Chain A
Amino acid sequence: NAIRLAGDMSHMASFFVLLFKINKSKSVAGISLKTQELYVLVFCTRYVDIFWNHLSLYNSLMKVIFIALSVMIVYVMRRGVPQRSTYNPELDSFPHHWLVLPCVLLGVAINQDPTSPFEMAWAFSIYLEAVAIMPQLHMVQKHGEAENLTSHYIFLLGLYRVFYLVNWVYRYMTEDGYWQAIVWVSGAVQAVLYLDFFYNYVKSKQKD
């Protein structure tokens, strides 16, 4: 449906905005490497089914694109010259291990099929995605404010989540028996994390 497509497109746009920013400004200052590495982990654990689930060309292609773009971003941040010298590890200080560990436990404990390692990995990726933005938001807070393109990037990520939430309501109403507790709760948590950022983003755009 169109709402879900809009979500995917804003998600994809967020990658390109970030890549554009780090290529154009030659700087990754203010970007959280931890968040970007968490996204690589999210996509690699969620899209394991790329090898056997061929729902549509769109889905398979988007999975490859999401993995490739997230890996590319981490690569530029770690290896890019001069980007790697502009990274601020002292500001990127969110204790990310405390995000991963509970998500692993939750993924093992609460999933759609307790006998399937794939379902555990999949549930883990859903939980981790919900909180993966936290190191980035923490960094923005420590910095005081984010560069324009960085804030557009975070905004697009939040927008993607809002589109998906609306898409779930739509699917619930139009598809018989469509009901997904794990993704809905995680998605709602994820959206809530952006509220404060959204508020400040809109406020600063109004000032401009």
Chain B
Amino acid sequence: EKIGATKDEL
């Protein structure tokens, strides 16, 4: 799992 990968979503 890419840590923080969804931090580019709201």
Contact = CB atoms under 8 A, between A and B. Distances in A.
Interface of A: 4, 8, 11, 49, 53, 55-56, 59, 62-63, 66, 112-113, 122, 164, 167, 177-181, 183
Given A178-B2, A179-B1, A63 B10 contact: yes
Interface of B: 1-10
Contacts of B6: 180, 183
A181 B10 contact: no
A17 to B, nearest CB: 18
Q: Is the interface of B mostly helix, strand, loop or mixed?
A: loop
Nearest to B4: A112
Given A177-B2, A178-B2, A66 B10 contact: yes
- Report whether over half of chain A's contact residues are helix, strand or loop; otherwise say mixed: helix
Contacts of B4: 112
Contacts of B1: 112, 179-181
A59 B10 contact: yes
A59 B8 CA distance: 7
7 contacts: A11-B10, A55-B7, A55-B8, A56-B8, A122-B7, A164-B9, A178-B2
Contacts of B5: 178, 180
A179 B8 CA distance: 13
Contact of B3 (A8, A11, A113, A167): A113
Contacts of B7: 49, 53, 55, 122
Nearest to A46: B10
7 tightest Cβ-Cβ pairs between the two chains A and B:
A180-B6, A55-B8, A183-B6, A112-B3, A179-B1, A62-B10, A8-B10
